[in-house]
Amino acid sequence: MRLSADLAEALGRCTGLAADSHTLPAACYVDPEVAALEAETVFRQGWVGIGRGDRWAASGDYAAMDLGGVPVVVVRDEEGVLRAYANTCRHRSAQVMEGEGHCTKMRCPFHFWTYGLDGRLLGAPSMRDTNGFERADHGLIEFMTAERQGFAFVSLEDSPPPIDDWLGDFPDLHARWDLGSMVTTRRREFTVACNWKAFAEVFNEYYHLPYVHPGSIDDTYDDPDDPEVVVGAWATHAGTTQGTGGLLEADQVKALPVIGTLNDREAHGVRYSWLYPTLVTATGAEGMWMYEVYPDGPDRCRCAQVVCFPPETAALEGFAEVAEAYYERFDVAIAEDIPMLERQHRGMRSPFARQGRFSYLEPNVARFAGWYADRLLSVG
């Protein structure tokens, strides 16, 4: 599949810098052909974040997912290593695992071919008359995985770039949060009738705050800092807050302890980052809230809200009750964003949708547009 000349020209206007870039063309959000190209270049090349590693806390914990149209099963093996496999049976290709949970083996429900957590085919009934059949030749196809800073990543590419190059200076700019030690205290899934990129974008820009969040969080956020230049497949934008960004204005007195290792600016603000393509994070004074977002065709996305705190905070007496006020803040804000995202998507579907321009308050969105355009243009 190739890009049309018009689309290639439009993508060429996405330079990555808010001041001179154009927005991604609407076709990138609504056109099934672009979605197919995107699956190939954005989801089947490079690394894709799949959330926090502690979702697979114990050996045998698994989750089935769809990454760019590819069914994948992620499981922690007996040695504690996170593994990812093509979730397609080596017999006649049924999807092996569904949903999430705990298992000791992975069994295809169609004819009971059974795979170990290491992907090996352990059992296949009634195959004794099949000439030349070797179980060893029919293990699940395995993908590369990595865990960094407590996040889990999968690559469907044979030889992806080194994960540490992909992440660039994300670890450095988040070092004082010690993200690797944080624990997930809440994970909540939902779907939205918009393109996955729009969902990630709204989390990454300050521009809409006064208009979409006037009574809930807008007054908490000061004007953001100038964006920093970073290296790697990610973008970031930080700013200070009045009180904590993790609570509604009315709940500020409930604030949990500030992470002791943060510098003064970090202790009085929030850093918003986007680990392309699927993870968007907000690291605040007391913990982190983030979303995973995955396409479900161009017109829908599957999202998960994930909230993490340092283990010592999560162990505090009364933590569960106070944490509810944080969850409330995240739920209220996203409930204000979702109708706007669905409205944006309806506008995007018009043949008269045109490339727009960015405000200085949207540097992460502009930087992503530049990165995404480059990925699509790489297949010409």
**Chain residues in the site for Fe ion (CB under 5 A):** 337
Q: Is the dihedral of CA 197, 202, 203, 205 positive or negative?
A: positive
Q: Report the residue number, 170 or 221, with the smaller CB distance to Fe ion.
A: 221
From candidates 94, 141, 231, 250, binder to ligand FES by CB under 6 A? 94
Number of residues that bind ligand FES (CB under 6 A): 8
Residue 64 neighbours by CB under 8 Å, 6+ apart: 71, 72, 73, 74, 87, 95, 97, 98, 99, 100
How far apart are alpha carbons 21 and 372 in whole angstroms?
A: 13
Residues 100-129, interacting with ligand FES (CB under 6 A): 108, 110-111, 113
Taking CA atoms, 370 is separated from 175, 190, 226, 275, in Å, by 26, 28, 18, 14
- Binder of residue 92, out of Fe ion, ligand FES, none (CB less than 5 to 8 A by kind): ligand FES
Residue 234 DSSP class: E
Q: Is 89 in the site for ligand FES (CB under 6 A)?
A: yes
Q: Is 270 in the site for ligand FES (CB under 6 A)?
A: no
In terms of DSSP H, where are the helices of the chain? 5-12, 27-30, 32-38, 163-167, 170-173, 196-202, 209-212, 264-267, 311-314, 319-348, 363-377
Question: Least separation, in Å, of the C-beta of 205 and Fe ion?
Answer: 8
Q: Is 13 in the site for ligand FES (CB under 6 A)?
A: no
Q: How many helices (H) and strands (E) does the chain have?
A: 11, 17
Q: Is 2 in the site for ligand FES (CB under 6 A)?
A: no
Q: Is 91 in the site for ligand FES (CB under 6 A)?
A: yes
Taking CA atoms, 325 is separated from 218, 253, 334, in Å, by 17, 10, 14
Question: Least separation, in Å, of the C-beta of 130 and ligand FES?
Answer: 13
For 357, other C-beta atoms within 10 Å of its C-beta total: 13
Question: Least separation, in Å, of the C-beta of 202 and Fe ion?
Answer: 5
- Binder of residue 337, out of ligand FES, Fe ion, none (CB less than 5 to 8 A by kind): Fe ion
Residues 25-54, interacting with ligand FES (CB under 6 A): none
How far apart are alpha carbons 215 and 210 in whole angstroms?
A: 9
- Binder of residue 190, out of Fe ion, ligand FES, none (CB less than 5 to 8 A by kind): none
Q: Is 320 in the site for ligand FES (CB under 6 A)?
A: no
**Structure token digits, residue 207:** 């521009």
How far apart are alpha carbons 48 and 293 in whole angstroms?
A: 11
Q: Is 86 in the site for ligand FES (CB under 6 A)?
A: no
From candidates 19, 57, 92, 228, binder to ligand FES by CB under 6 A? 92
Binding residues vs ligand FES (CB under 6 A): 89, 91-92, 94, 108, 110-111, 113
